[in-house]
């Protein structure tokens, strides 16, 4: 059974940093691209970043480019999102999502439960 | 970026009703259109991919049609567990973009 366990969310001040993690199990982690998708309170879904199965290709939304870094540790079946210089508009529930392919196709067949990031002074 | 527009933003329906939700892309995306269901407080769940392919385990009352710029999700006979918010998403190009959602409520 595929499981994605998101963690690392917290309440931080503007300009602060957080590192989100997504622990994966139930599939061959390195065989699938992964992404982070966020959802602001009461709002819709917004793609944040994606990474290929090997980790060699990375993609970012313009809204987070230069501030967020996606990475993965295939030996530990874990996806990460390093978030720096956080802004109020980054407040959201962050989901990790499993791509249906090794490359970043952005078709998501499994999602984590989400981890909440709140940016406020 | 490709814009994806859903309609309606919400609808009220009764159990047993046929429900249709539309999604329009700002440019042709071939069949790179996916549908997700999100229940309150839960993660999204993939229902339909590549415009018309039913994800494994999803009931056959869900179906998708369309190509190019216009797409439709149909629930043939609405069940109590189908009350949720539905999102379309284009996977034709990066960044992937989602529609704003359609909330299906009980009449």
Q: What is the pLDDT of residues A69-78, one digit of tens each?
A: 999 999 999 9
Question: pLDDT tens digits for A34-62?
Answer: 999 999 999 999 999 999 999 999 999 99
CB contact under 8 A, A59 and B44: no
Question: pLDDT tens digits for A18-38?
Answer: 999 999 999 999 999 999 999
Tokens, residue B106: 């009980």
Residue A103 has pLDDT above 90, yes or no: no
CA dihedral A75, A53, A50, B64 (to 10 degrees): -130
Closest Cα of chain B to A118: distance in Å? 17
Which residue, among A86, A51, A55, has the nearest Cα to A68 in the 3D structure? Answer: A86
Per-residue confidence (pLDDT) for residue A102, from 0 to 100? 82
Per-residue confidence (pLDDT) for residue B16, from 0 to 100? 96
Q: Which residues of B touch A (CB under 8 A)?
A: 34, 36, 42-46, 49-50, 55, 87, 89, 91, 94-101
Q: What is the full DSSP assignment across B11-35? A: EEE-TT--EEEEEEESS--TT-EEE
Q: What is the full DSSP assignment across A26-55? A: SS-GGGS-EEEEEE-TTS-EEEEEEE-TTS
Cβ neighbours, 10 Å, residue A110: 21
Closest Cα of chain A to B87: distance in Å? 8
CB contact under 8 A, B100 and A95: no
Q: Are B70 and B24 in contact (CB under 8 A)?
A: yes
Q: Are B63 and B55 in contact (CB under 8 A)?
A: no
- Contacts by A57-66, CB closer than 8 A, 24 or more apart: A57/A103, A57/A104, A59/A104, A59/B94, A59/B95, A61/B95, A62/B95, A63/A89, A64/A90
Is the CA virtual torsion B82, B90, B10, B17 positive or negative? Answer: negative
A/B interface, count of CB pairs below 8 Å: 50
């Amino acid at each position: 059974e595929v499981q994605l366990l998101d963690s690392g969310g917290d309440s931080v001040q503007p300009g602060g940093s957080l590192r989100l993690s997504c622990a994966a199990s139930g599939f061959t982690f390195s065989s699938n691209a992964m992404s982070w998708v966020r959802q602001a309170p009461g709002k819709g879904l917004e793609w944040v970043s994606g990474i290929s199965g090997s980790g060699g290709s990375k993609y970012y939304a313009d809204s987070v480019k230069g501030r967020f870094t996606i990475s993965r540790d295939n030996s530990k079946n874990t996806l990460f999102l390093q978030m720096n210089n956080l802004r109020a508009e980054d407040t959201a529930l962050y989901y990790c999502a499993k791509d249906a392919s090794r490359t970043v196709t952005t078709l998501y067949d499994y999602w984590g439960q989400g981890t909440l990031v709140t940016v406020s002074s | 970026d490709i814009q994806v527009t859903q309609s309606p933003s919400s609808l009220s329906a009764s159990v047993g009703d046929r429900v249709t939700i539309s999604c329009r892309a700002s440019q042709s995306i071939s069949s790179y259109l996916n549908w997700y269901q999100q229940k309150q407080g839960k993660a999204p769940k993939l229902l339909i991919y590549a415009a018309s392919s039913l994800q494994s385990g999803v009931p056959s009352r869900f179906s998708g049609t369309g190509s190019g710029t216009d797409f439709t999700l149909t629930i043939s006979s609405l069940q109590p567990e189908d009350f949720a918010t539905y999102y379309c998403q284009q996977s034709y190009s990066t960044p992937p973009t989602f529609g704003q959602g359609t909330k299906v409520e009980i009449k």
